[in-house]
Chain A
């Protein structure tokens, strides 16, 4: 068997921002995150992801929730967590992220940058 040398390619691609203005369906969120719809419904029940009505019984999600759903899937797989353990872990991680955000804001507002007289 011969081994081909890998070729380095450059490809210009369209990327999707995972933000508040892009949306996806429940099926897409399940497919992209690797969670089942039942597990996604658990995250909805916990208030960790929030669906938006999209006519009839259909709901859509802001795409930034994919970050939460993927984190949940990783934790489920890597720590072999059941639904209750997963709920606690994701909620605590979310709380840590919020507190880190608040700490970052406080640092930006209160911290002193480097001044020329510091040298």
Chain B
């Protein structure tokens, strides 16, 4: 088992007071709470500090933790004393056990009368822990619907009440039109209940991966359509890749930069079966390099064209701004 230094997690001394511990927890919780923090590591950091606070704020749990002795964070160790009396003394028994799970099992044993020489007390049913994981899906999968395999390590109790993490994979159907951040609930697929309590639930949060072509706004899609200057002036027929296949689109003559052209029902599917739209945003591009012959043609155009996009500057240029 890897040792977790709860005092270091909260940044307090081993002889810190309850008030010090509470203050340190609050400060870190404000920084890393997953509902508040934008830190990508926030959730795992918060779990660490929440677990540390849960143990250290409680006198009994803190004493049990201190009984484990002082080790370096991450150091391999096997619990001795009361721990081994309750849960066996083989190092292998603890090899895949989390520190947090060991503390929870010890507390459960204390409350439930598992402890050697203790009295069996009234065992209150405890609801299993809920788990939440994120799963990435592509825009193509959102469009068609799909099945994903979501993997998670879930706790399982052994005959001593000690928790071991067991890898589980759930194959789940993702209906068409899933949205970023939307959740699926898998009832009873979370942590095990204790003393007849119900199993917890597993929540899967969909994370839609960024797409190289499309930008998502609800069920509406946006994409850029690069046009040459002559296509914008003369009009053109262009092939547009959509999630449902290629479509031919007419770009009207005289199309200006930034103009949006809408392809109806080429966006993302809604739950009621209707479709969002695909908005094509015109971006007029100019070549970075041109051949001598092209330069000549541009020069001829410049000499003959009557178009002046800065006509409205004239009065300011004459009279000053």
- A residues with a Cβ closer than 8 A to B are 1-4, 6-21, 32, 34, 63, 66-67, 70-71, 74-75, 78-79, 93, 104-105, 107-109, 111-117
Contact = CB atoms under 8 A, between A and B. Distances in A.
Interface stretch (B5-13, B64-72, B92-100, B290-298): B92-100
Contact of A8 (B35, B92, B167, B172): B167
Secondary structure at the A interface, as helix, strand, loop or mixed, is mixed
B23 to A, nearest CB: 13
Interface string B202-222: 001000000011011110101
Contacts of A11: 168-171
Given A12-B171, A18-B185, A117 B285 contact: yes
Interface stretch (B158-166, B233-241, B310-318): B158-166
Given A13-B186, A105-B218, A117-B288, A7 B166 contact: yes
A-B complex: 6 closest residue pairs judged by Cβ atoms: A1-B88, A108-B217, A108-B215, A15-B184, A6-B166, A12-B171
A106 B213 CA distance: 17
Interface string B265-290: 00000010000000100010101100
Contacts of A71: 35
Contacts, number: 127
B226 A117 contact: yes
B254 interface: no
Contacts of A104: 216-217
A13 B170 contact: yes
A109 B222 contact: yes
Contacts of B36: 93
B35 A75 contact: yes
B169 A10 contact: yes
Interface in B126-160: 127, 130, 149, 156, 158, 160
